[in-house]
């Protein structure tokens, strides 16, 4: 079995015979909007949105059966015809004879296929990338004559142009081709559909889709085949096109309407001497610009220009990924480069647009907005403040949030069709990210920023419709006098926590509603409860209380102004807390009062009162969970995570068939609901029932052996797939994070290491470097690249493992490294940024002690002593950081003994 081999210090890698794995795909994109996927045979697709695909949309199963994709052919001496990408009817036969030697080499946003054909005596290299400054996918092709005599080569490019919405793959495929207006230019084929097809209302089309080409010297094609029919012929197909095999002359200066379009053309024949090479450039573009295409592509028409754009692209993304880990494990360190890169992919692709991610219509979800900020705070913090502030515009006054998210920052779209789903975990993530921002920067002033609340038809936390609201009213909450109501970020955080506290079920835990983090728990909306995320909110309320106290300590005025409607939620009556029906009544009263508009009247509350209120609520919940949800199994045990739609606990410790879920353990540990004895029991139980190193680590749940129609679709999935018992990278990483927070570094590293080892074992995971959404029962990684696990893995490695963490703008250095993470020189190192300064943090562990056995004996920055507290952590104050030179690299050296 071939393995992935890293070839530099920026995560670039090579994989031989990658084409033998038909589920491999790789992302290419730019921040301008073009998004592509590419396979080892150059399959995949390319698009700027759900409605604008230049290549035919593909799902994972299309990768091995779809030939309607990028291809390049060459005819040698007028006799032998070869596909340079391997997409030919002869390829399977040749590969079986081991006469084809393929290799993929790739790095951030670039992909290179190298092939040697011993039968045809040629070698080829095809590099695909998307420049950082343009919506263009570039194919740079090099063709070399390996024979010992001169030969003539006539080269064809063949790229089918889909030129419409993904919806039209099945919906009116032929009818939408009738909208195509196709013409050739000097350098390519252009498709400009007359309209976008939608039976709910058609719209004029403003996009141009085109495929253009040049030789490496800038010469244009000599003939064109601008429709599928003209290229493949009546009896041919994409793997044996008649235009190539029968040498059709083609066209120039040609127009035709109403056909499936083909970006196909032929270059002038060239003669290559033995060992001589020629090159070609192919450009795929989507644009609204109705300009001269030759002029628009002039900067991409020669080998020299393409090489410059490729180097700029490599440099741009290498600079973006500005965190570098150096441990005793070189492959792991390079793999971490991809972990750091994946949040950028999620920001561009959202949760759609890669072959496994064939759902949704693009964009990101609410959770994604906040978790992507989490990683960007560590990688690229300068833009995050604005992003956080704008994201709060999606919060409703009832504590829920918009679920239709626009393409621009702070853009949220009103639901026009009915009541959208409510995910009960959504109020958890904004505070988590905001707290990290404040810890990284010390900028508590963000809490005073005023933004609007989101408004649409959905009211009363998704249980009713506001019949008075009309679309023309806009999507911002108004007061009764017609003004847009603006509330502080702190106020938004408060309403999310307070309203959720009263949205409880019959066991007095937070209602599951339509789902929590686990989208597949979607069939318990009436009586389902999420104990797991009730635990999470315990931690949230404690964190918010702490932030309020810190913020208040910086102010003279010790009060905050809140809408008068909030007063209902500030009850501190234990009689109300103990009775779930009274809690529901409080929520009903509040929701009714603010379902359409706010009164505009306000109350003043002291910060001290708010903090105490939140702490009391959190403590009450903690005690309730401890009283009723701990399940004992001999000396082990764990917390029940859920109640189903029949009001029953979902988990059980019955020895003949234990039922355990990871989610409840993660948040009980992370939020300090679990005590130390319980954490140790949870670790033992998770190792006994959930740990499966052969498939990546900790499964999301044990096999319940039932289809729970009272809980969610996950129980209909095959066990070991997706949410039903797969090793879900995101939750495993959060489990590790929780363990590190509580001081259980050895157990935390076990979880992180299992994920990394499985991902890096290509023979098992069958994926390129990075972390997938999950590993199935046989260890294969699925739903690669677009997972929140990457943000959490980076966050955990940097802030917990290396202990490089902010605290109100101060830098705390609190290592939790285990012995095996130090190299042969007993060093572990990370390069990263903080507060606009670049640091290299080096830990020296000369005696190679384990975590728990070592203390910090020395700490320096640039040779100057740093203060050490409790022998456990060193501190660099915000004031000292601000005085450091922004253009220098600052060395922090810490000795462990």
Average pLDDT over residues 417-440: 91
Average pLDDT over residues 75-81: 96
CA separation for the pair 700, 712 (Å, rounded): 14
Q: What are the tens digits of pLDDT across the range 693-722?
A: 999 999 999 999 999 999 999 999 999 999
Per-residue b/e over 630-669, b at no fewer than 16 CB within 10 Å?
bbebeebbbbbbbbbbeeebbbebeeeebbbbbbbbbbbb
Q: Would the pLDDT of 38 be above 90?
A: yes
Q: Would the pLDDT of 419 be above 90?
A: no
The half-sphere exposure of 288 on its side-chain side, counting CA atoms within 13 A, is: 6
Q: What are the tens digits of pLDDT across the range 213-237?
A: 999 999 999 999 999 999 999 999 9
Three-point CA angle 327, 331, 333, nearest 5°: 40
Q: What are the tens digits of pLDDT across the range 780-794?
A: 999 999 999 999 999
CA separation for the pair 274, 617 (Å, rounded): 80
Cβ atoms 371, 433 nearer than 8 A: yes
- From 763, 753, 757, 758, select the one nearest 3 (Cα to Cα): 763
Q: Would the pLDDT of 95 be above 60?
A: no
Q: Give the pLDDT of residue 212.
A: 98
Residue 720 φ then ψ, to 5°: 95, 0
Q: Give the pLDDT of residue 96.
A: 52
Average pLDDT over residues 114-122: 94
Return the number of other C-beta atoms located less than 10 Å from residue 858's C-beta: 14
Q: What are the tens digits of pLDDT across the range 840-870?
A: 999 999 999 999 999 999 999 999 999 999 9
Q: E strands along 288-331, which residues?
A: 324-326
Percentage above 70 pLDDT, the chain: 98
79 by Cβ neighbours in 10 Å (0-12 / 13-18 / 19+) ranks as: exposed
Residue 669 φ then ψ, to 5°: -75, -50
Cβ atoms 34, 130 nearer than 8 A: yes
Q: How confident is the model at residue 541 (pLDDT cuts 50, 70, 90)?
A: very high
Sign of the C-alpha dihedral, residues 227, 229, 230, 231? positive
How far, CA to CA in Å, does 688 sit from each of 682, 685, 698, 703?
Answer: 10, 5, 10, 13
How far, CA to CA in Å, does 475 sit from each of 402, 411, 416, 472, 579?
Answer: 10, 10, 11, 9, 35
Q: Give the pLDDT of residue 415.
A: 64
Q: Give the pLDDT of residue 360.
A: 64
Cβ atoms 534, 621 nearer than 8 A: yes
Does the global pTM surpass 0.85?
Answer: yes
Q: How confident is the model at residue 84 (pLDDT cuts 50, 70, 90)?
A: very high
Q: Would the pLDDT of 351 be above 90?
A: no
CA separation for the pair 128, 42 (Å, rounded): 9
Q: Would the pLDDT of 91 be above 70?
A: no
Tokens 């909030």 sit on residue: 566
Percentage above 90 pLDDT, the chain: 86
Q: What are the tens digits of pLDDT across the range 799-838?
A: 999 999 999 999 999 999 999 999 999 999 999 999 999 9
List, in sequence order, every residue forming a beta bridge with 6; answer none if it has no partner: 13
Q: Give the pLDDT of residue 196.
A: 84
List, in sequence order, every residue forming a beta bridge with 604; answer none if it has no partner: 561
Q: Would the pLDDT of 285 be above 60?
A: yes
List, in sequence order, every residue forming a beta bridge with 799; answer none if it has no partner: none
The half-sphere exposure of 455 on its side-chain side, counting CA atoms within 13 A, is: 25
Q: Give the pLDDT of residue 416.
A: 58
Q: Report the run of H or E that residue 144 belongs to, with start and end.
A: strand 136-145
Domains and CATH numbers, the chain: 5-320 (2.70.98.40), 366-732 (1.50.10.10), 802-896 (2.60.420.10)
Average pLDDT over residues 526-546: 98
Q: Would the pLDDT of 98 be above 70?
A: no
Q: Would the pLDDT of 381 be above 90?
A: no
Q: Which one-letter DSSP state was computed for residue 93?
A: H
Per-residue b/e over 437-467, b at no fewer than 16 CB within 10 Å?
bbbbbbebebbebebbbbbbbbbbbbeebbe
Average pLDDT over residues 106-133: 97
Greater confidence, 116 or 379?
116
Q: Would the pLDDT of 362 be above 90?
A: no
Q: Give the pLDDT of residue 172.
A: 86
Q: Give the pLDDT of residue 634.
A: 82
β-strands 486-488, 772-775 pairing: unpaired
844 by Cβ neighbours in 10 Å (0-12 / 13-18 / 19+) ranks as: middle
Long-range contacts of 873-880 (CB under 8 A, 24+ apart): 873/803, 873/812, 873/813, 873/814, 874/812, 874/813, 875/810, 875/811, 875/812, 875/813, 876/810, 876/811, 876/813, 877/810, 877/811, 878/442, 878/808, 878/809, 878/810, 878/811, 878/835
């Amino acid at each position: 079995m071939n393995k992935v081999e890293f070839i530099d210090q920026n995560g670039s890698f090579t994989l031989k015979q990658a084409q033998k794995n038909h589920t491999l795909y790789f992302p290419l994109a730019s921040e301008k909007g073009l998004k592509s996927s590419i396979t080892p045979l150059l399959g995949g697709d390319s698009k700027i949105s759900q409605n604008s695909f230049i290549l035919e949309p593909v799902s994972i199963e299309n990768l091995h059966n779809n030939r309607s994709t990028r291809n390049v052919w060459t005819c040698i001496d007028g006799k032998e015809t070869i596909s340079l990408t391997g997409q030919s009817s002869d390829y399977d036969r040749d590969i079986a004879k081991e006469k084809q030697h393929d290799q993929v080499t790739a790095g951030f946003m670039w992909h290179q296929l190298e092939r040697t054909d011993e039968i045809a005596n040629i070698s080829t290299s095809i590099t695909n990338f998307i420049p950082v400054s343009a919506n263009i996918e570039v194919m740079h092709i090099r063709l070399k004559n390996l024979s010992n005599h001169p030969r003539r080569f006539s080269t064809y490019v063949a790229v089918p142009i889909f030129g419409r919405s993904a919806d039209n793959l099945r919906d009116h495929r032929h009818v939408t081709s009738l909208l195509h207006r196709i013409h050739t230019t000097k350098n390519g084929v252009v498709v400009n559909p007359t309209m976008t097809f939608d039976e709910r209302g058609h719209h004029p089309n403003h996009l141009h889709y085109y495929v253009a080409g040049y030789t490496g010297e800038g010469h244009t094609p000599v003939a064109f085949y601008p429709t599928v029919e003209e290229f493949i012929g009546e009896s041919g197909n994409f793997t044996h096109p008649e235009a190539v095999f029968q040498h059709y002359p083609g066209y120039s200066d040609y127009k035709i309407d109403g056909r499936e379009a083909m970006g196909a053309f032929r270059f002038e024949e060239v003669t290559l001497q033995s060992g001589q090479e020629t090159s070609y450039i192919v450009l795929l573009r989507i644009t609204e610009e109705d300009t001269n295409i030759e002029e628009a592509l002039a900067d991409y028409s020669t080998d020299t220009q393409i090489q410059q754009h490729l180097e700029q692209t490599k440099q741009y993304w290498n600079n973006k990924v500005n965190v570098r880990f150096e441990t005793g494990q070189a492959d792991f360190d390079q793999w971490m480069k991809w972990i750091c890169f994946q949040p950028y992919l999620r920001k561009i692709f959202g949760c759609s647009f890669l072959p496994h991610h064939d759902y949704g219509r693009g964009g990101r979800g609410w959770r994604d907005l906040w978790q992507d900020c989490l990683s960007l705070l560590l990688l690229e913090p300068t833009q995050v403040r604005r992003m956080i502030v704008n994201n709060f515009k999606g919060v409703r006054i009832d504590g829920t949030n918009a679920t239709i998210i626009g393409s621009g920052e702070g853009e949220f779209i009103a639901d026009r069709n009915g009541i959208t789903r409510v995910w009960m975990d959504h109020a958890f993530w904004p505070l988590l990210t905001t707290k990290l921002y404040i810890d990284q920067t010390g900028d508590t002033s963000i809490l005073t920023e005023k933004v609007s609340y989101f408004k649409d038809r959905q009211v009363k936390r998704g249980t009713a419709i506001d019949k008075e609201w009309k679309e023309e009213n806009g999507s911002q909450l108004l007061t009764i006098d017609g003004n847009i109501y603006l509330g502080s970020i702190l106020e938004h955080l408060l309403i999310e926590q307070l309203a959720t506290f009263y949205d409880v079920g019959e066991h007095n835990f937070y209602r599951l509603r339509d789902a929590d983090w686990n989208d597949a728990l979607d069939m318990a909306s009436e009586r389902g409860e999420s104990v797991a995320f009730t635990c999470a909110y315990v931690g949230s309320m404690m964190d918010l209380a702490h932030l309020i106290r810190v913020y208040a300590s910086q102010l003279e005025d010790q009060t905050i102004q809140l809408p008068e409607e909030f007063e209902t939620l500030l009850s501190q009556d234990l009689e109300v807390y103990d009775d779930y029906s009274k809690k529901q009544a409080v929520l009903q009263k509040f929701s009714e009062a603010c379902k359409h508009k706010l009164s505009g009247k306000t109350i003043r509350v002291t910060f001290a009162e708010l903090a105490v209120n939140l702490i009391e609520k959190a403590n009450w919940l903690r005690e309730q969970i401890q009283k009723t949800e701990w399940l004992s199994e001999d000396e082990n045990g764990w917390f029940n995570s859920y109640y189903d739609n029949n009001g029953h606990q979902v988990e059980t410790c019955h020895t003949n068939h234990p039922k355990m879920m990871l989610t409840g353990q993660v948040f009980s540990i992370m939020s300090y609901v679990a005590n130390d004895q319980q954490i140790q029991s949870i670790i033992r139980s998770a190792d006994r029932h959930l740990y499966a190193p052969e498939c990546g680590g900790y499964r999301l749940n044990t096999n319940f052996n039932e289809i729970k129609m009272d809980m969610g679709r996950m129980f209909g999935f095959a066990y070991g797939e997706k949410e039903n018992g797969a090793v879900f990278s995101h939750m495993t990483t959060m489990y590790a994070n929780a363990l590190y927070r509580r001081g259980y570094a050895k157990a935390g590293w076990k979880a992180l290491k299992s994920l990394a080892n499985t991902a890096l074992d290509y023979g098992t995971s069958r994926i390129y470097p990075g972390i997938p959404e999950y590993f199935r029962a046989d260890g294969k990684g699925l739903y690669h690249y677009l997972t929140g696990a990457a943000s959490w893995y980076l966050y955990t490695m940097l802030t917990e493992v290396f202990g490089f963490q902010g605290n109100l703008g101060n830098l705390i250095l609190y290592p939790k490294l285990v012995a095996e993470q130090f190299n042969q020189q007993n060093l572990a190192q990370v390069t990263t940024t903080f507060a606009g300064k670049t640091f290299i943090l080096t830990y020296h562990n000369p005696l190679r002690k384990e975590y728990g056995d070592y203390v910090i004996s020395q700490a320096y920055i640039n040779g100057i002593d740093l203060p050490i507290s409790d022998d456990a952590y060193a501190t660099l104050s915000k004031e000292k950081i601000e005085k450091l030179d922004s253009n220098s690299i600052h060395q922090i050296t810490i000795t462990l003994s």
